[in-house]
Structure 1
């Protein structure tokens, strides 16, 4: 069975770590949310590489879609609801910034 290659070297070494049943389940859940294997999740966390959960990306796309709809309302109404759309866009921006962290 060939090993996966990350960068210039194959991932050929293994380590064993003892965990509680709950810790192992949490790792599996986190990896699933991020769309990663448990091994890749652990490597990224340890080596400080970014982990973006799939659910976060779905939320980002949805918030952007809502922003586009608000823009459409603003343009279609010729600014009749500008105060409301501006407030909603401000809230969307805050949420998007929160997801980036």
Structure 2
């Protein structure tokens, strides 16, 4: 955000929420890598928010897939059915999150 954007933001809005709603909003803002203000502005104005947790999970699944492939190659193809089944499940998990 440029300094000119922050200087233009001179109004503060108060919103009443329950403690549970406040917790949920703060958690979603944290997951999006944004402040609560940035997150609420984006939601209210129809802008996309990106979930950094999803990106982290996808990266971890990809890392695990790479390790699984390495183990398969190091094992000379031993237990190839089990290795293939695990890789398929990892790919399915990445696809579910990415959509």
Q: CA deviation at 1:51?
A: 2.0
- Separation in structure 2 between the aligned mates of residue 66 and residue 95 of structure 1, nearest angstrom: 12
- Separation in structure 2 between the aligned mates of residue 59 and residue 93 of structure 1, nearest angstrom: 12
Partner of 2:64: 66
Q: Name the count of aligned residue pairs.
A: 95
Higher relative CO (Cα under 8 Å, sequence separation at least 6) belongs to 2
Q: CA deviation at 1:60?
A: 1.9
Partner of 2:27: 29
Q: What's the TM-score once normalised by structure 2's chain length?
A: 0.75
Root mean square deviation, CA, Å: 2.3
More helix by share: 2
Does the alignment pair 1:5 with 2:2? yes
In structure 1, list runs of 5 or more residues that go unmatched.
none
In structure 2, list runs of 5 or more residues that go unmatched.
none
Q: What's the TM-score once normalised by structure 1's chain length?
A: 0.73
SS in 2 for 1:64: helix
- Separation in structure 1 between the aligned mates of residue 2 and residue 43 of structure 2, nearest angstrom: 18
